Chains A and B, each alone.
Chain A
Amino acid sequence: MQLSHTPEEEQFRAEVRAWLRANVPRGKRPRTGLALREYDLEWQRRQYEGGWAGISWPREYGGRGLSLMQQVIWYEECAAAHAPVGGSTFVALSHAGPTLIVCGTEEQKRFHLPKILKGEAVWCQGFSEPNAGSDLAGLKTRAHVEGEHLVVNGSKIWTSYAALADWQELLVRTDPGAQRHKGLTWVICDMHAPGITIRKIPTMSGTGNLCQVFYDDVRLPLANVVGEVNGGWDVSMTTLGFERGTAFIAHQIHLASTLEKLHVMARDLRGPDGRRPAIEDGAVADQLLNLRAEVAALRAMTYLSVSRGARQAVPGPEGNIIALCYAELSQRIYAFAVELLGNEALEMHDENPDWLTDYLDAFKNTIAGGTSEIRRNVIGERLLGLPRGGR
């Protein structure tokens, strides 16, 4: 066990810190629309030009070829420098790109990976359907082979940023006669292809990035298939491995700086008795401290998983542990913020900080990419060896 960073890692951290100080975008990030896309791509472009894009991605596709621990250090410094986290480049960087690295053809990798790193492409995910949520293998969007193309018909839903995206990780049924998991294909979908219609789905937080996508005879070249035709389930498990494993490292680390803000709030706002600062209230202080301890535990859990995962190409089912902890802890943190704010939390205008929006959006953390219930199923069956339960 090496419980502190090596001198090389500390040196790396110093370089990152210096670069971020000069380069982190200053303006407030737009919450939606093309302005958000431009903001995110511009930030990604700047990272690429500075030599910081794809820290742990292979060098031949534009990455730095460094360790996952160095990637973690990058995220830590980003959080400390209040750099933007997630957003419209999230899917591309955290699971579409990594899936292509593991399962893509040489041509797919050479075309797409540099575009992702250079901030030239936004990706979205096309897995869930109106009748296939947790039961992903029940999906019905169909595709059949016609010459050199797949022709897609159907609909995908809960697609974040579909309206801003250039490409999509699309999972379709190509063999309706085969068993549920067997007849699926993972294909790269051009979001500008004819036959695609996008409907925005307004949500309670008002951010409006969720969409439903309709496919009407959309023709995608067979060369866009990742893995084999009818071999899409395995590829999608790779995607979910990343989505539930490493994708949220940046977000987990970001929680520490969110707590920093909460601490300041608890000092500045009046507490439940209406007189003293909130932090002087015993219950408030205890809650804050409990959250801090859990954020510290989550960070160490991330280190543990990065240490263990350094030797495997795709994160294993253990990723679900952190995904579950992160999802539930983040919700408690935002709920606590809303509690601290009292009725001020209700005001929806641009001057209000993002607490309410973050709180309302955080419901997705225990739903998207596998609900907490699905994650507990996976933990029970794959990590604890319990028999497969009724579904």
Chain B
Amino acid sequence: MDFNLTEEQQMLRDGARRFFREHYAFGQRRALLASDAGLDPACWARYAELGWLALGQPEALGGWACPFVETAILLEEFGRALALEPFVSNVVLCGRVLGCCGSTAPGSAVLQEMMVGRTRLALAHEEPGGRYDADCPAVLATRSGEDFLLRGTKCCVLDAPAADRLILSARSAAGDVFALFLVDAAAPGLRMNSYPLVDGTRAADIALDDVRVPASCLLASGAAARDLLQEALDRATLARVSMALGAMESVLQMTADYLKSRVQFGQPLGRFQALQHRLAEMFVEVQETRSILCCGLAHLDAEGAQRNAMVSAAKVVAVNAARIVGGQAIQLHGSIAMTNECAASHYYRHLLAFEKIHGDADWHLDRFARLRETHAAVTHP
């Protein structure tokens, strides 16, 4: 066992950090936030060129086959930069679902387009009132000749406004079977109501009024589909823990620098022990997040329940850390940190969104509690 990064992994991290330093300065990001799309298409094209959009995909399809650790390393840098592009939705969530559906499935062509940056995807899964649980979607798929007709509502579909295609969960009317469909975002009968989230990314509520999809766009169904989606969501949860870790490290560094330079009572704030200890506490929280992320990564290929348990544990620890680090960063900076011109407020908003996306701490604690394997997983990691 060795938790040190390999040389290749260090290169990936350093390269990403350099890229974001050069292309994603605070001012550039603020301009993006104010733009219609809320993301940078030129950056997206660069991600494709750098091979990032193919990360973890099967080589047979032109992917960059590598362990999830690489994705986590890259996303830490996304989080540090607060990059707005929908990497998790595309590469981690939808890419995983499509990649697991087999190279002959209809999704593989779409996957290949995604990897080269020509198509963007979003996962339409959550529904109104569902509070993260959508094992039994209300969106109904009924047969109509060779096609399916989809009807119902999805809510808070992350990154949908910039997506060309959706992976959509539904329940087939015949036999009550869970199913995943690949749906064209511009299909007739599909209405999208878009809005920004608190962290500046975009989402949409989606109404489906008998949207017609060919049978070939049924990606998976039954227990296999549910397992596939749950696995992809676990990976996305860990991916976002990585982003949150990068964001926390960055805002911690920023706060440390501020405490060294800001002078009050004739001395730098960082000389006051009460503030030193607050910062030390934030630092420890960040280290704890890094540690539990490693735990999660180590269990990502374990069988379902054990994987669920460790991913939920990771989310619970990271949310707790995010609240402390994000909140104290504002407190230690003072009023300036509440303003849009200070990055601390943007980090806080990112961490707040992180807290709620893919299940909040309560939801994960509850899942953690329901898993019989939890105990074994945590006692013998």
Contacts and interface: CB of A to CB of B under 8 A. Distances in A.
A321 B280 CA distance: 9
Interface residues of B, number: 50
A3 B279 CA distance: 30
A381 to B, nearest CB: 7
A377 B292 contact: no
Nearest to A69: B1
A344 interface: no
Nearest to B297: A3
A325 B365 CA distance: 21
A354 interface: no
Nearest to B314: A293
Contacts of B2: 1-2, 69, 307, 310
Nearest to A300: B291
Interface in B279-312: 279-281, 283-284, 287-292, 294-295, 297-298, 310
B313 interface: yes
Given A257-B379, A260-B375, A297-B317, A376 B281 contact: yes
Contacts of B291: 297-301, 303-304
Given A1-B9, A256-B380, A376-B277, A289 B1 contact: no
A300 B260 CA distance: 31
Interface in A345-391: 373, 375-377, 379-381, 383-390
Interface stretch (A4-12, A140-148, A182-190, A240-248): A4-12
B69 interface: yes
A389 B271 contact: yes
Interface residues of A, number: 51
B273 A377 contact: yes
A286 B369 CA distance: 8
B104 interface: no
Interface in A265-313: 285-286, 289-290, 292-301, 303-304, 307-308, 310
Contacts of B259: 386
Nearest to B376: A260
B243 to A, nearest CB: 18
A89 B58 CA distance: 53
A290 B270 CA distance: 31
B292 A387 contact: no
Given A1-B69, A301-B291, A380 B378 contact: no
A256 B279 contact: no
Interface string A1-45: 111111001000000000000000000000000000000000000
B268 to A, nearest CB: 5
A263 interface: yes
B281 A256 contact: no
Contact of A303 (B284, B294, B317, B380): B294
Contact of B1 (A6, A257, A259, A389): A6
B6 interface: yes
B4 A307 contact: yes
A100 to B, nearest CB: 28
15 contacts: A1-B2, A2-B2, A2-B3, A3-B3, A286-B365, A289-B368, A292-B378, A293-B314, A293-B378, A307-B1, A325-B284, A325-B288, A377-B273, A380-B280, A386-B276
List of 7 A-B pairs having minimum Cβ-Cβ separation, nearest first: A380-B276, A301-B291, A386-B270, A300-B291, A293-B313, A376-B280, A307-B3
